[in-house]
Amino acid sequence: MAVVDNRGKRVITEEEVKTAGRGGTLRIDDNALLTPLASDAARDRGVRIERTPRSIASTRYRIAIAADHGGFEMKEELKRVLVDLGHDWRDFGTDSTDAVDYPDFAHMAATAVSRGTCNLGIVIDGAGIGSCMAANKVPGVRAAMCYDSASARNSREHNGANVLTLGAKAISIDKMREIVKAWLSTDLTEDRHRRRVEKIQAIERDYLK
Per-residue pLDDT of 38-81, as tens digits, reads 898 999 989 988 887 655 455 789 999 999 999 999 999 999 99
Considering the domain architecture, whether residues 70 and 32 belong to the same structural domain is answered as no
Single out the residue of 135, 185, 199, 140 nearest to residue 164, CA to CA: 135
Q: Report the number of distinct structural domains present in the chain.
A: 2
197 located within any domain:
no
User: Looking at the domain assignment, is residue 82 inside a domain?
Assistant: yes
> Are residues 101 and 45 part of one domain?
no
Of 48-52, 115-119, 123-127, 180-184, the least confident: 48-52
Least confident of 1-10, 24-33, 120-129: 1-10
Catalytic residue among 69, 87, 107, 158: 158
Q: How far is CA 18 from CA 12, 25, 43, 145, 148, in A?
A: 11, 10, 11, 37, 36
pLDDT digits (tens, 9 = 90+) for 136-188: 999 999 999 999 999 999 999 999 999 999 999 999 999 999 999 999 999 88
Is 158 catalytic? The answer is: yes
Same domain, 85 and 110: yes
47, 105: one domain: no
The pLDDT of residue 31 is above 80: no
Q: What range does the domain containing 161 cover?
A: 62-191
Please check whether residue 196 lies inside any domain of the structure.
no
